[in-house]
A and B are shown apart, each in its own frame.
Chain A
Amino acid sequence: MTAPILDVVSLDVRYGQSQALFGVSLSVAPGTVLAVLGANGAGKSTLARAVSGLVRPAAGTVTFDGRDISRLPAHRVRKLGLTYIPEGRGIFPGLSVIDNLRMAVAQERRADRPQAIDRAIERFPVLGDRRTQRAGSLSGGEQQMLALARALAESPKLVIADEMSLGLAPLVTESVFEGLEAARQEGITIVLSEQFVHRALAMADHCVILTRGQVGWSGPAAEAGQEVIDRYLGEAEAPPPTPAPAAVTAGPP
């Protein structure tokens, strides 16, 4: 087994006095897709924010590409090749489409930037027609494509996509997933947090289920089917009415 590109060990996160994550551990192998699932408020976004450096963890370590990034601020993490698309459109709504892309490639060498922007527009041609439009006035789907274009413009090693399908129509969701799929083909590791369970599992290699800030279950995505539905729709602590494997509901490992 290859060394994991992302390794999270016993991560605790607090917002003020309330704790949002309790000893979360997970690891992602290079080139794979990890689905992070869980009910609303389970801590998916918190996990992503802590890994990407927006929120400083209270305890635990995050190792990315062999480097401890637990204490690094967000911009340093991004420069190492970890890109986070936050929930609810990872764009600058007040900037034009082209300025959004220019911000995304601002770390590249000056000479390489035009090509990087061209590649991003090639990936999502609809953005090319809207270069000067304010990103905030794009439709939800276009905003999400812009977010994805921004994330992929700089050839990251790992992309964390948080609830990309939120509020998108099914057809649009589909093209967003196609974008992610293409990224995976290029060898980019993807961490996916998604409410559309089946869609996420269809793409993922591994799956982690968060319940109330803890890892409730983790394993290969192929084995996650029934487990996910029990936990996701029926609130984790529900006594399983179906003959589900008892070990699985027993709580965090």
Chain B
Amino acid sequence: MTTAAAPPPSPPPPSSSAGPAVAPADVPPGSAAALAARGVTVRFGGLMALHDVSIEVEPGAIAGLVGPNGAGKSTLLGVLSGLQRPNAGKVWLRGEDVTQASPRARAARGLARTFQQPELFMGLTVREHLVLAYRARTARHRLWRDMFDPRSLLPASRTENDRVDGLLELLRLTRVAKAPVAALPLGVLRLVEVGRALASDPQVLLLDEPLSGLDIKASENLLLVFRQIVDQADPPLSLVIVEHDVAAVLSLSDTVFVLDFGERIAVGTPEQIRNDAAVRAAYLGDSEPAQRATPTSEIPAEAAASGSEPSPSLADLEGRS
């Protein structure tokens, strides 16, 4: 796996613990970042879903976003893609403030995403999903002009066909290209969503739990695909991946952000995250380094290993990549 055009292989931010935000919330980050968010806060009624969360993704980098159930990962993706308005904080896409921009406007600026429960168009075939996304980005006028044009029944342009068929090939969807998505199993649907996202030639792609519901073989395949599309992308493509499969995220990402209770509790390289005490505590439910509720006898080994030592489980996960 070579890093072809991808710029900084792994830009490790300095701190691996929570700490304060890297910069004041109203200062725009360097326009070098493909996607950045500062001080994002979201409240649902009495529930604080996100509190002062910041993330930054370099062009061509893969950022992982992990954390236990209810940590606010999907909410953050919603804020980044524009489906969720934050109560506070800002979002920049390639240096441009898009906090107030609609999802559609962000898509036009090169942001694409997938959903945990695939949000597909039940009346369309696999190929039509890709064609539509391609045209929505590159040939906007077709969205309303086409209906009067009997030529829409004829084959589309060469570039469009090349791009769409290439993506179908890459995702190994060629055989089901003409099938309506309503009839396909979940694993294929996830690929269709990825294909639809890629067909709009994004510079940033947000992936919401792309592996959930997939078996191990399919997961590994999809991870390879992600690596491949990032390596081949020109201009560079950044990925933000939210996933429960920590091992997969650690193996894929350049930088990993860890959320817990709506706050960013850690950020760093996969290596740093693996050894982070706060992360382990968050995942295993050990509330604080100093244990308040003593666990029963069968798990003192892990519970005690709260400090410097990497947990056996998290260290082992590394071996999977």
Binding site for B on A (CB under 8 A): 18, 39-41, 93, 136-140, 142-143, 163, 165-171, 173-174, 177, 194-202, 221-225, 229-230, 233-235, 237-238, 241-242
Q: When chains A and B are docked, how far (Å) is the Cα of A41 from the Cα of B70?
A: 13
Binding site for A on B (CB under 8 A): 45-49, 68-71, 186, 209, 211-213, 215-216, 219, 244-248, 261-262, 283-288, 292-299, 301-303, 312-314, 316-317, 319-320
Contact status A202-B296, CB under 8 Å: yes
Can you identify 28 A-B contacts, CB atoms within 8 angstroms?
A18-B186, A40-B69, A137-B46, A139-B46, A140-B47, A163-B70, A167-B49, A170-B288, A174-B287, A195-B68, A195-B70, A196-B285, A197-B285, A198-B302, A199-B295, A202-B294, A221-B298, A222-B296, A229-B313, A233-B246, A233-B314, A235-B247, A235-B248, A237-B216, A238-B216, A238-B320, A241-B319, A242-B312
For B49, the closest partner residue in chain A by CB is: A167
Partner of A138, one of B46, B285, B302, B314: B46
Contact status A163-B69, CB under 8 Å: yes
Given the complex, which residues of B lie within 8 Å of A140, measured CB to CB? 46-48
Q: When chains A and B are docked, how far (Å) is the Cα of A234 from the Cα of B284?
A: 13
**B contact face: mostly helix, strand, loop, or mixed:** loop
Q: When chains A and B are docked, how far (Å) is the Cα of A118 from the Cα of B113?
A: 50
Given known contacts A93-B45, A171-B287, A229 and B302 CB-to-CB distance under 8 angstroms: yes
Contact status B299-A201, CB under 8 Å: yes
Given the complex, which residues of A lie within 8 Å of B299, measured CB to CB? 198, 201-202, 225
Given the complex, which residues of A lie within 8 Å of B47, measured CB to CB? 139-140, 167
Q: When chains A and B are docked, how far (Å) is the Cα of A36 from the Cα of B47?
A: 25
Given known contacts A40-B244, A166-B69, A223-B298, A237 and B284 CB-to-CB distance under 8 angstroms: no
For A196, the closest partner residue in chain B by CB is: B285
Given the complex, which residues of A lie within 8 Å of B261, measured CB to CB? 167-169
For B262, the closest partner residue in chain A by CB is: A167
Q: When chains A and B are docked, how far (Å) is the Cα of A92 from the Cα of B306?
A: 39
List of 8 A-B pairs having minimum Cβ-Cβ separation, nearest first: A196-B285, A170-B287, A167-B70, A166-B70, A237-B216, A199-B285, A241-B319, A229-B313
Contact status B69-A195, CB under 8 Å: yes
Q: 17 other contacts beyond A195-B68, A199-B285, A202-B294, with CB at 8 A cut-off?
A: A18-B186, A40-B209, A40-B244, A41-B212, A41-B213, A137-B46, A195-B285, A196-B285, A198-B303, A199-B293, A202-B293, A222-B296, A230-B313, A237-B215, A237-B216, A242-B312, A242-B316
Q: When chains A and B are docked, how far (Å) is the Cα of A221 from the Cα of B69?
A: 22
Q: When chains A and B are docked, how far (Å) is the Cα of A201 from the Cα of B299?
A: 9
Q: When chains A and B are docked, how far (Å) is the Cα of A222 from the Cα of B47?
A: 34
Partner of A222, one of B215, B262, B298: B298
Q: When chains A and B are docked, how far (Å) is the Cα of A146 from the Cα of B186?
A: 37
Given known contacts A170-B287, A173-B287, A234 and B69 CB-to-CB distance under 8 angstroms: no
Given the complex, which residues of A lie within 8 Å of B286, measured CB to CB? 198
For A224, the closest partner residue in chain B by CB is: B298
What's the least CB distance linking B56 to chain A, in Å?
A: 25
What's the least CB distance linking A184 to chain B, in Å?
A: 14
Q: When chains A and B are docked, how far (Å) is the Cα of A163 from the Cα of B71?
A: 13
Given the complex, which residues of A lie within 8 Å of B292, measured CB to CB? 174
Q: When chains A and B are docked, how far (Å) is the Cα of A113 from the Cα of B46?
A: 28
What's the least CB distance linking B149 to chain A, in Å?
A: 37
Contact status B295-A201, CB under 8 Å: yes
Q: When chains A and B are docked, how far (Å) is the Cα of A194 from the Cα of B70?
A: 12
Contact status A136-B287, CB under 8 Å: no
What's the least CB distance linking A179 to chain B, in Å?
A: 13
Q: When chains A and B are docked, how far (Å) is the Cα of A66 from the Cα of B28?
A: 65
Q: When chains A and B are docked, how far (Å) is the Cα of A140 from the Cα of B244?
A: 23
Q: When chains A and B are docked, how far (Å) is the Cα of A163 from the Cα of B246?
A: 20
Contact status B316-A241, CB under 8 Å: yes
Given known contacts A40-B244, A137-B46, A234-B320, A225 and B302 CB-to-CB distance under 8 angstroms: yes
